[in-house]
Amino acid sequence: MSADNQQERLDNKWVSGFVDGEGCFYVGINKIQNMTLGWQVLPEFRLVQHKKNIFVLKKVQELFGYGVITRNHGDRFELRVRKIGDLKKLIEFFQQNPLMTTKKDDFNLFKKIIYLMDKKEHLKEEELKAIAKLSSEMNRKIKPKFLESSETIRPTS
């Protein structure tokens, strides 16, 4: 890689275009003991790149001012954001530098979930169901385990 590229500062709009192509907004809903309702809501933003472009992940991390770089799989690394406080800043970033593809739809659902979590709504059963439903509309419309689980199906009286 040419050195000039490594030193060049990233433009916010470039980051939004790059994330439209390569980024992922994801909300996992996992079964866990010791949680109020037995389920954990785990929202995360991921930007995955081959290791040859790890310097770009570092520049995005620097521009954001948060996020963790970790191995994703094999030769691939990811910049990951999981803390609610940081995710709120990330939402602010993409409101100022809007996504342009259908990824914006995922982002809008993600935003709703983060706002609900910020108000601790995910600790209430009905709101947790609403979050699970929102998350099921994201990405490839995979139904989360939470919505499929027999534990969430209550007999009517």
Q: With respect to a second copy, which residue has the nearer C-beta, 29 or 99?
A: 99
Binding-residue pattern over the window 45 to 64 for a second copy, x denoting contact by CB under 8 A: ----x--xx--x--x-----
Contact 20, 103 (CB under 8 A): yes
Q: Where are the beta strands (DSSP E) in 1-157?
A: 23-31, 39-50, 68-73, 76-81
Q: 10 Å Cβ neighbour count for 53? A: 15
The length of the chain in residues reads 157
Q: Does 2 bind a second copy (CB under 8 A)?
A: yes
Binding-residue pattern over the window 22 to 41 for a second copy, x denoting contact by CB under 8 A: x-------------------
Give the binding site for a second copy (CB under 8 A). 1-2, 5, 8, 10-22, 49, 52-53, 56, 59, 97-102, 104-105, 108
